[in-house]
Structure 1
Amino acid sequence: MAERPRALFAMTPQNVPLVFPPELLARLRACTDVDPALVAQDFTVPRVRETLARTEILITGWGCPRLDPAALDAAPRLRAVLHAAGSVKGFAGPEVWRRGIAVSSAAAANALPVAEYALAMILLAGKDVFALRDRMRERRAVPYDGLLPGVGNHGRRVGVVGASRTGRRLIELLRPHDLAVALADPYVDAPEAARLGVPLLPLDDLLRTCDVVSLHAPQTAETHRLLGARELALMPTGSVLINTARGALVDPEALVAELRTGRLSAVLDVTDPEPLPADSPLYGLPNAFVTPHLAGSLGNEVARLGRVVVEEAERLASGGALLHTVDPGTLERTA
């Protein structure tokens, strides 16, 4: 039997049993030599450095310390980083790839719950659920008589901003519904949009023509304040903005100003700043539905991330290739 490659956890220790429940941990230990009691939060700790010197696979997650040159020097046998979360930008720099170390991420798995959240909010917003719930609470009675014009999801126009993993997954989830979906993304051309099954629009045109706009672009210098006062003013009266990406994509002062007019509504799982200060007007605006950054993997969903990593480790241990590698060439414009 071939010797199992040495692996080391590098994340917040409390996350290990959540991301790798017993069944997954057993599979991981079957294909790697890993000690679940040793979790690196600091690569300078002597016991960690001793293990790092023999480590071939680093299993990372939220709370992973930065892989700086000193840490990499201490891991001469390291050949793969398997990240049980989304973005690797917070801890992995160009030096990792320069040393020929493969990097894999569970970002595609983390995209699913975000896309599910966005889908749910699109459908609920189309039925005006949030406003009608508040009115029903206030009146202690049915808040309308007969059918409500303008409410419903039949033919509603949905604009997806960003063909990220989450944006693409959302497009898939929207497909069975009776909605008209469009995409805005400067890195996607018309043939690729056709393969996704959606028309490609310039951002301004998407904002002007969609009833719901869902943001799925990464946070970069290019997307900072992607939606400011000018862009928000393009959105039709009665339309809804959904942000599950990053708060910095939207100018918060411009958004509050628009919401105060009552012209737009917003569903915000991310904000800028985050968390919101106690005096933020978003808490009190009736047309702002704010949730505490919960769209991504939480609770039993984080085990899905662990499963991706275990499957990648099994591939490596059997001499196979990684399936979810991170492309350093696109890292600057991805999440």
Structure 2
Amino acid sequence: MSDKILVTGTSVREELLKPLVEAGFVIDNPTHLLSEDELAAALADKAGYLLGGDEFATAKALQAAKKLKIIAFLGMGYQSYVDADAAEKGGIAVTNTPGTLNNAVAEFTIGLLLNSTRRIHQYALAYSEGKSGKEEKQRDLANLHVGIVGLGGIGTRIAEILRWGVNCSVSYFSRTRKPAEEARLGLTYRPLDELSESVDVLIVMTPGNAETRGLIGRRQFDKFKPGLILINSARAEIVDPTALLDALSSGKLGYAGFDGFYEQSEIANAAKPHIPTRLVITGHIASLTNDARDAMANRAVASIINMIKFGKDPYRVR
């Protein structure tokens, strides 16, 4: 009997699943968001799982997956979608797709940044409502000091665009210092507190997990220059929501751009009065390009074949 593969989400084109079929696998691709119980039932007879939807592979869902050998996560931040400890306990490998979405997310982040520095969305809405003429002067991005929190693949690509394309000053904080990138791009490393108080723009581009939740909190907000612009294309929870809302209300924060926001309705409701004059939010779509999604899918498919057929894959993270 052929091994079965579960593919969730709708972003993987059928054509890109052909290597799995050619390798002898049977594909199950439900297009709706699976509940925990539905996911548990779907995984019960599967050898592989391409996680391309918004499901969370909980310990309960994985307990039923006695045949499962691999969860191939479509993206980087698998920690937000997989109980990795439960997977490891069950002998289930977890892979991700590094490098495949660097350009897409970096470009989108620069778009959020330009919108925030020049108020493009705000003024476009005003113009469409016949309220133009009250625009205020903004600042050239090239004359701003930008700080990046997290200098992984995406953070590095953002730094390249800012340094080579815009020629602005860029500093960064990362858990691991990157001397080679400092020399190549002319970056300055600063501890997080020092970075927070020295920059005009702060871009959050670090993985969202238990260690980084609330990383940008009251301590950092208190150090911000008045009018600082905050861009978060990573996980909303990396920024403390209470500190964010207080800074928006007080005017301490000049503008904020988020790709994806907090799930709690009370936070979302409290943020609404600041849209679009101080805040723009998009629906976690930074990587939503054909190029990025196809590259992610190709890598995830290859990882499934590698793990099931050969027991190893270079993109295994757990």
**Separation in structure 1 between the aligned mates of residue 90 and residue 52 of structure 2, nearest angstrom:** 21
Q: 1:251 aligns with which of 209, 233, 240?
A: 240
**Separation in structure 1 between the aligned mates of residue 285 and residue 57 of structure 2, nearest angstrom:** 24
Q: 1:71 aligns with which of 64, 70, 75?
A: 64
**Separation in structure 2 between the aligned mates of residue 38 and residue 290 of structure 1, nearest angstrom:** 32
Q: 1:96 aligns with which of 83, 87, 90?
A: 87
**Separation in structure 1 between the aligned mates of residue 14 and residue 276 of structure 2, nearest angstrom:** 44
- Whether 1:288 and 2:257 are equivalent positions in the alignment is no
**Separation in structure 1 between the aligned mates of residue 24 and residue 266 of structure 2, nearest angstrom:** 42
**Residue of structure 2 equivalent to 1:332:** none
Q: Which amino acid aligns with 1:194?
A: E
TM-score in terms of structure 1 length: 0.74
Q: Which amino acid aligns with 2:5?
A: L
Q: Shift of residue 82 of structure 1? A: 1.8
Q: 2:214 aligns with which of 205, 213, 225?
A: 225
- Name the SS of the counterpart of 2:314 in structure 1: coil
Equivalent residue runs for 1:315-326 within 5 Å: 315=306, 319=310, 322-326=313-317
Cα distance change, pair 226–87 in 1 and its aligned pair in 2 (3 A): closer
- Whether 1:266 and 2:256 are equivalent positions in the alignment is yes
Equivalent residue runs for 1:38-187 within 5 Å: 42=38, 45=41, 49=44, 51-52=45-46, 55=47, 57-62=48-53, 63=55, 65-66=57-58, 70-72=63-65, 74-75=66-67, 78-89=68-79, 90-97=81-88, 101-106=92-97, 108-130=99-121, 132-133=123-124, 136=127, 140-143=131-134, 148=137, 151-177=139-165, 178-185=167-174, 187=175
Larger Rg: 1
Deviations 1:89-127, CA, capped at 9 Å, x for gaps: 333433533565432113543454332221112233333
Q: Which amino acid aligns with 1:59?
A: L
Q: Which amino acid aligns with 1:266?
A: A
**Separation in structure 1 between the aligned mates of residue 251 and residue 267 of structure 2, nearest angstrom:** 22
Deviating 4+ runs (over 6 angstroms): 38-41
Cα distance change, pair 36–116 in 1 and its aligned pair in 2 (3 A): same
Cα distance change, pair 234–308 in 1 and its aligned pair in 2 (3 A): same
Q: Which amino acid aligns with 1:202?
A: P
How many residue pairs were aligned?
A: 307
Cα distance change, pair 104–44 in 1 and its aligned pair in 2 (3 A): closer
Q: Which amino acid aligns with 2:220?
A: E
**Separation in structure 2 between the aligned mates of residue 233 and residue 194 of structure 1, nearest angstrom:** 27
Q: Shift of residue 173 of structure 1? A: 3.6
Percent identity over the alignment?
A: 21
**Residue of structure 2 equivalent to 1:331:** none
2:229–2:256 Cα contact (<8 Å) kept: yes
Cα distance change, pair 284–98 in 1 and its aligned pair in 2 (3 A): closer
**Separation in structure 1 between the aligned mates of residue 215 and residue 190 of structure 2, nearest angstrom:** 15
